[in-house]
Chains A and B, each alone.
Chain A
């Protein structure tokens, strides 16, 4: 028996044992609470985002009075410290020590990928509203890792590339943080844009935590492009937006960004420099769709700030899980059914504004907004939709099988069509 064979049989054996104990567990189901393990970076480089993730989850649980699928919910929060090794250790703790029925969370792709690899072995349902690594719903899918209210990195930049073509842009340059999340978002845009006849003039990759963008901005100013696409997160995004304006580029060349670049977590800290930046996303906090507006108002009333991607995604993710739990009367112990049900559940009445369902690969199909940063009446800035691409697949308009044959986006593969 080789190793793979052994793994298969042993997994089957474990599954059979699980099935054997299922009836007993089902009888217990109503009495005990559903244990949800929440992994969020409460310390480390992305701690502020992590705190908003916890808020999003708490906000939902408060609204449903801590009850999902007819059962009480016990939430166990663990700090992944923005570090994959810690994330993995905490995931072990939640599953093996805390006996959590499911895990949700993580912010940084490397923490999410580490936990995903772990639950591949345990079979624990793991929900990732924030982790955007393309391959988790593409080339390296894990059945029990589900992207509730999450997205693949390149899914929104595909339509964004199309929008750029419609604006009549011919020449675009990109600047991005040099890691997979950036490679994927830039790749999505670059592929669609160049296949439609556009030219990616140059691509700049800079290390995370770049303090001074002037060397890059200086070169960008020389390029004579129609627009610049920037993929930045956190403090890098703040700095790029500010320096882009102070460099005098804001008046000359339109700035387009990946949606994390103009997320509330970034723009709530800066002033008019961010006004007018365009991004593509599944969510725009300034949308006038009633469910979105209602969520935004309530969240802002409670936490005193406009919700960011982190709060919103975790909130919607919890809502999606709850919708599935209602269908199976909260029986999370039967993992297989639980996972199947989640994947079949359509999320309605969410802040997303429109019913959302999963594609065959476990990635939600959204309406993608092209959104713009505008000033609100109270002079805060937020994102308002200016155009909508309905029902966008993570494979855009490509045939999934063909698309999956191309390599994943990376620094060296950006899907750029040679002229």
Chain B
């Protein structure tokens, strides 16, 4: 196993009395594909927010690539190479795909303050936008206005936006939620063919989709890590079956 890129030590995120994430420790090696699964309310998205910085941990430590990022705001973490998508599509609907990509690319660059500069991307920018769109398989849609695209394409654009800053770690928050089966397989294909150097952490409800994509699975329940196992073992794990299937039986 290669050296870890992400290490969480005893991370807790509390909203008043409620501990949404309660003492989570986990380690993700560089280049790994990792899924975080768990029933609703398990604390998956909150954990994402703690990693990406949208909601910094109340206590505990987040180490990324050798840096303690626990206290850093999201854009500082982004600069270090953490990139994420959102569970709820959050794009710029009246702008073109190209403009969406440009905004994503320039967020961390001084060029965003060019008040009277030419609008077009320079060569380096164009190349990065091109390759990100290609990786997300929407290269030919660059001039389309986002609100005119299908929902599946918008999810692909989410991934393209996350990729354009050439992150070292990509956090995907339910990338396939709400998609049709054919759109899901497209998303799966996009994720599978990502550059292997990129570490990918993914939250997904659809176990079949998630398990088919990753090397390792973390199952969360009530804010804590329940099980950590490779995908093959996870299906048979009694605890996992309990939290996923057991509850309704008692209800």
Contact flag (A, B; Cβ within 8 A): no
Please list the residues of chain A having a beta carbon within 8 angstroms of any beta carbon in chain B. Answer: none
